[in-house]
Homo-oligomer: A and B are copies of this chain.
Amino acid sequence: MDIPFATIEKITKYLRCLKRIRNKKIKFVSSQTLAEHTNVTAEQVRKDLAYFGKFGRTGTGYNIEKLAKKLEKILNPKLNWNVCIIGAGALGHALTNYPDFKKAGFNIIALFDGDPKKIGNKIGTAKIYDVKKFSAIIEKKEIEIAIIATPENAKEEIEQIIAKSKIKGIINFTPLTLDIKSKRKIPIIDVDLSQKMYILSYLITKGKRRQ
Contacts and interface: CB of A to CB of B under 8 A. Distances in A.
Count of chain copies? 2
Contacts of A20: 176
A205 interface: yes
A177 B37 contact: yes
A171 B196 contact: yes
Given A91-B94, A177-B39, A101 B202 contact: no
Given A97-B90, A198-B75, A203 B187 contact: yes
A200 interface: yes
Given A90-B94, A193-B100, A195-B9, A205 B77 contact: yes
Contacts of A63: none
A201 B171 CA distance: 11
Interface string A94-125: 11011111011010000000000000000000
A176 B17 CA distance: 8
A38 interface: yes
A176 B36 CA distance: 11
A198 B12 contact: yes
Interface in A182-211: 185-205, 208-211
Q: Which 6 A/B pairs are nearest by Cβ-Cβ distance? A: A187-B203, A94-B94, A90-B94, A12-B195, A169-B204, A91-B94
Interface of A: 5, 8-9, 12-13, 15-17, 20, 36-39, 74-78, 81, 83, 89-91, 93-95, 97-101, 103-104, 106, 144-145, 151, 168-171, 175-177, 181, 185-205, 208-211
